[in-house]
Amino acid sequence: MRPGDFYELSRYLALRLEEAIQGGSGESLIPVFLAHPVDIPKAESGQGPRAALYLHRIIPSSTYREAGVRVQSAADPALPGRVRRSALWLELRFVFMIIEATSREELGAIAAAIEFLHSNALLSVEDMEACLARELSIELGELPLELVEDAGLWQELGFSRHHLGVSFKVTLPAVARPGEEVERVVEREISLEQVLEKERK
């Protein structure tokens, strides 16, 4: 993956959420901004419902993590092999909020967003590329998406009182680290106990 893929994934989600919430919010068209909920631009009329999609946290994924390393043997037994560390999987944590809307607009849009997110538990990378009209460097065909609980997030975001939001995460693999050469061990006895003892130290 490239650094820009975080932004492209966020932009895709904003576009799809904007499509999804229009039917649930009543008559008003609600634009979705990629921004901190406190900082989204004012409407042209000064007030009006707006939505924010904000990537607020990126953490290593424990669910999809591949532990340990992989050893790739050389084609020629006389040459050193290579050790390749497993790919790092990341969880991108998003929050979706509606700002300056009536209760009907807010709850309708939130309900539509939840329905969209729940119905798209696997995001198609092919659909992303078609929607954004560009190729992404994500090696998987689908990315897992899951609704999550983020109690107290509204306080972290700087709101003075509770503000309704929908939290979800998208999991994707980062590029694996480059391989390292390792020498082949020949004509030498290895004690498993010695290896384990060395690892404990």
Residue 32, pLDDT above cutoff 80: yes
Parse the chain into domains and list their residue ranges: 4-200
**CATH code for the part of the protein at 4-200:** 3.30.2000.30
Cα gap 191→56, rounded to integer Å: 48
Q: Which long-range CB contacts under 8 A does 73-80 form with residues at least 24 apart?
A: 74/184, 77/184, 78/184, 79/184, 80/181, 80/182, 80/183, 80/184
Cα gap 117→171, rounded to integer Å: 14
Cα gap 159→144, rounded to integer Å: 29
Residue 89, pLDDT above cutoff 70: yes
- Whether this prediction's pTM lies above 0.85 is answered by no
Cα gap 7→147, rounded to integer Å: 20
Reported confidence tier of residue 93, pLDDT bands at 50, 70, 90: very high
Give pLDDT, residue 9: 93
Give pLDDT, residue 69: 47
Per-residue pLDDT, averaged over 79-100, amounts to 78
Residue 178, pLDDT above cutoff 60: no
- Of 51-55, 58-62, 78-82, 156-160, which range is least confident? 78-82
Interval 145-160: pLDDT, tens? 999 998 888 888 888 7
